[in-house]
């Protein structure tokens, strides 16, 4: 009985070792494309309650996955890390503002990201010169457009986050808020502050391109993804996603 028991245990270890070698040699996610982008709502973020990822980027990538049959994983991270991950080849692709072309290959233009000023609901803006009469709240270090950023004649008040600026507008301690229009509108709605906002004036449109790491081992998938994006723009899918998330 002892001999049979030991023999069986030896055989079990032998087969387990074979299984282990098999899975190391053939990883399940060998052909998975790794997408990465910034963790900023409503572009891409994790829901605070469910931790499920949501946003315009998430919906676009889901649609790309369906149309191309490529398996795609998503990583959300601060902006600086996106470039590092693509430059190293640890991640394959992104949809974001144009990055250094020494690190990435630029693909299809997906959409534009509006930067501008949103006034209090009692103020109507139609042209830039009206901004000189306003106290404008914005994030310290933010970049809107060259003229606005370098215009010392504007009355600018710097805050640490958009929510502070939105609350200032609600209390009429500021006339307007400047920055990323989709993000501001999303935060306003989430915090029941959207009723205090008027119509935004767009000062700049930042292009968002599909881009892939020059060190990616999955570069052969780029043409099919470019084609999927073209189809999504043509059939209105991109516009639907943009309108859903304030873009």
Whether residue 79 is predicted with pLDDT greater than 60 in this model: the reply is: yes
- Least confident segment among 15-29, 91-105, 194-208: 15-29
> Would you say 134 and 176 are in contact if contact means Cβ atoms under 8 Å apart?
yes
Share of the chain above pLDDT 70, in %: 88
54-75 pLDDT, tens digit per residue, is 999 999 999 999 999 999 999 9
Q: In this structure, are 198 and 229 located in the same domain?
A: no
The mean pLDDT value of the chain amounts to 89
Q: In this structure, are 161 and 186 located in the same domain?
A: yes
Q: Which domain CATH number covers 121?
A: 3.40.190.10
Provide the H-helix boundaries in the chain: 2-25, 56-68, 79-88, 146-149, 162-170, 181-190, 222-234, 237-244
On whether residue 27 sits in a domain, the answer given is no
Can you tell me the mean pLDDT for 15-35? 49
> Would you say 148 and 163 are in contact if contact means Cβ atoms under 8 Å apart?
no
- The pLDDT, as a whole number, for residue 31 is 74
Whose tokens are 């119509």? That residue is 199
On whether residue 85 sits in a domain, the answer given is yes
Q: What is the H or E stretch that residue 75 is in?
A: strand 72-77
- The pLDDT, as a whole number, for residue 141 is 87
Domain with 191, as residue range(s), is 114-205
- The pLDDT, as a whole number, for residue 30 is 54
Whether residue 124 is predicted with pLDDT greater than 80 in this model: the reply is: yes
Q: How confident is the model at residue 84 (pLDDT cuts 50, 70, 90)?
A: very high
On whether residue 163 sits in a domain, the answer given is yes
Q: Rounded CA gap, 65 and 48, in Å?
A: 25
> 138-145 — which CB contacts under 8 Å span 24+ positions?
138/165, 138/177, 138/178, 138/179, 139/165, 139/179, 142/178, 142/179, 143/115, 144/115, 144/116, 144/117, 144/178, 144/179, 144/203, 144/204, 145/115, 145/203, 145/204
On whether residue 134 sits in a domain, the answer given is yes
- The pLDDT, as a whole number, for residue 18 is 32
**Overall number of domains in the chain:** 2
Whether residue 22 is predicted with pLDDT greater than 50 in this model: the reply is: no
On whether residue 147 sits in a domain, the answer given is yes
Can you tell me the mean pLDDT for 131-150? 95
Q: How confident is the model at residue 11 (pLDDT cuts 50, 70, 90)?
A: very low
- Least confident segment among 12-21, 150-159, 179-188: 12-21
Q: Rounded CA gap, 169 and 191, in Å?
A: 13
Whether residue 14 is predicted with pLDDT greater than 60 in this model: the reply is: no
On whether residue 193 sits in a domain, the answer given is yes
On whether residue 181 sits in a domain, the answer given is yes
Task: For residue 42, give the nearest of 175, 145, 146, 181 by alpha carbon.
Answer: 181
Q: In this structure, are 137 and 211 located in the same domain?
A: no
On whether residue 17 sits in a domain, the answer given is no
182-234 pLDDT, tens digit per residue, is 999 999 999 999 999 999 999 999 999 999 999 999 999 999 999 999 999 99
């Amino acid at each position: 009985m002892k001999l049979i028991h030991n023999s069986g245990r030896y055989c079990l270890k032998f087969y387990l070792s074979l299984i282990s070698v098999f899975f190391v040699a053939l990883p399940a996610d060998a052909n998975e494309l790794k997408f990465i982008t910034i963790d900023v709502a409503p572009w891409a973020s994790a829901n605070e309650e469910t931790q499920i990822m949501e946003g315009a980027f998430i919906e676009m990538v889901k649609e790309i996955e369906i149309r191309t049959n490529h398996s795609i994983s998503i990583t959300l991270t601060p902006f600086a890390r996106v470039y590092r991950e693509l430059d190293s080849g640890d991640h394959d692709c992104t949809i974001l503002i144009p990055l250094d072309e020494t690190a990435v290959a630029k693909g299809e233009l997906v959409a534009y990201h509006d930067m501008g000023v949103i006034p209090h609901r009692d103020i109507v803006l139609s042209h830039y010169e009206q901004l000189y009469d306003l106290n404008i709240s914005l994030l310290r270090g933010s970049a809107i457009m060259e003229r606005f950023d370098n215009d010392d004649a504007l009355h600018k008040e710097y805050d640490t986050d958009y929510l502070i600026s939105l609350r200032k507008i609600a209390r009429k301690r500021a006339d307007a808020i400047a920055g990323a229009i989709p993000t501001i509108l999303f935060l306003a709605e989430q915090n029941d502050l959207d009723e205090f906002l008027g119509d935004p004036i767009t000062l700049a449109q930042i292009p968002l391109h599909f881009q892939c790491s020059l060190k990616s081992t999955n570069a052969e998938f780029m043409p099919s993804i470019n084609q999927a994006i073209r189809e999504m723009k043509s059939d209105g899918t991109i516009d639907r996603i943009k309108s859903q998330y304030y873009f």
